[in-house]
Amino acid sequence: MRIDILTLFPNMFDGFIHESIIKRAIERGLIEINLINIRDFTLLKNGQVDDTPYGGGSGMVLMCEPVVRAIESVKTDDAKVYLMSPQGKVFNDFLAGTLYESTKHLILVCGHYEGFDERIKKFVDGEISIGDYILTGGEIPAMAITDCIARFIPGVIDSESFQNESFKDNLLDYPVYTKPREFRGLKVPDVLLSGDHKKIDEYRKSEQIRITKEKRPDLLK
C-alpha cells in the first residue's frame, strides 16, 4: 500500500513514521509513506502557497496552483485523492476498510489556515473529516487515517488482534488485564485465571455486549 501525504509541514510526521508499528511496517516494505511538501509546487516567489480570501474575511486560503500541481506530481491512474477537511465524510473503521479495499494508492492532502480554495475540490475524489471539531491543520487527520488503514495491511499487526478490536461486529472490545493478579485490592476476574477457554470466550462475549450497551448503545441499533 502506498500513501502519499501532501503537506506544508512534513516535519510534523517525523515521530509518526520513525517510531513503533508504522516504522516497522515501512522497514518491512508493507507500507510506503511519502511526504510531499506542497510549497515545492508553487510557481510564486518566496514559496507563497496561500493568499487572502476574495470577498474579505479572516485567514489565508491555500491556492489552487501549488496544491493541484502537488497532487498531479504523485497521482497514478488508480490513486484516490482526499482532502483532509472538517466538512468531509466522517472517518471510522468501516471507511478505513473501504478505502483499503478500494485502492492501493491513497493521496491525502492536508489543509492549513482557512482551508482550501474551493476549486481544488474539482481535482480530488472527496473530503474526509476525523470528527466534528476543528484542528489547525490536516496533518493529525492524515496521520490518524494512515495509521488506521495501515492496521488493515496483513502483517502490520498480528491477525488475531485485528479480529478482536472494538467496532468488529458493532461491538466494543472486552476488558483486558495483565500481571499482577491483584493491584491495590483490585482483582483480575477469576474466570480469566481458570484456564477454561470456553468459559473465557463466553465471559468476553458477554462483557462486549454489556460494555457496548453501556458506552455506545448507538452501535447496537
* Residues found near ligand SAM in the complex (CB under 6 A): 84-87, 110-112, 114-116, 129-131, 133-138, 141
Q: Residue 102 in contact with residue 95, Cβ under 8 Å?
A: no
Which residues make Cβ contacts (< 8 Å) with residue 108, sequence separation at least 6? 3, 4, 5, 6, 82, 84, 128, 138, 141, 142, 145, 146
Q: How many CB atoms lie within 10 A of CB 57?
A: 9
Angle in degrees, CA 11, 17, 20, rounded to 5 = 135
Q: Name the residue nearer to ligand SAM (CB basis): 9 or 162.
A: 9
Residue 116 Cβ vs ligand SAM, minimum distance, rounded to whole Å? 6
Measured from the CB of residue 208, what is the shortest distance to ligand SAM in angstroms? 29
Closest approach, Cβ 214 to ligand SAM, in A, equals 27
Cα–Cα distance for residue pair 141/125, rounded to 1 Å? 17
Q: Which is nearer to ligand SAM, 11 or 87 (CB)?
A: 87
Q: Which is nearer to ligand SAM, 54 or 133 (CB)?
A: 133
Q: Which is nearer to ligand SAM, 53 or 175 (CB)?
A: 53
Beta carbons of 142 and 5 less than 8 angstroms apart: yes
Exposure string of 156-174, with b = 16+ CB inside 10 Å and e = fewer, is bbeeeeeeeebbeeebbbb
Length of the chain measured in residues: 221
Angle 61-147-219 from CA coordinates, rounded to 5°: 95
Q: Residue 10 or 141: which CB sits closer to ligand SAM?
A: 141
In the bound complex, what is the minimum distance in angstroms from residue 166's beta carbon to ligand SAM? 21
Which residue has the closest beta carbon to ligand SAM? 111
Measured from the Cβ of residue 153, the count of other Cβ atoms closer than 10 Å reads 15
DSSP percent split of the chain into helix, strand, coil, nearest 5 = 45, 20, 35
**What minimum distance in Å lies between the beta carbon of 206 and ligand SAM?**
35
**Residue 112 vs 151, nearer CB to ligand SAM:** 112
Q: How far is the CB of 44 from ligand SAM (least distance, A)?
A: 20
In the complex, the smallest distance separating the C-beta of residue 51 from ligand SAM, rounded to whole angstroms, is: 15
Residue placing its CB nearer to ligand SAM in the complex, 140 or 192? 140
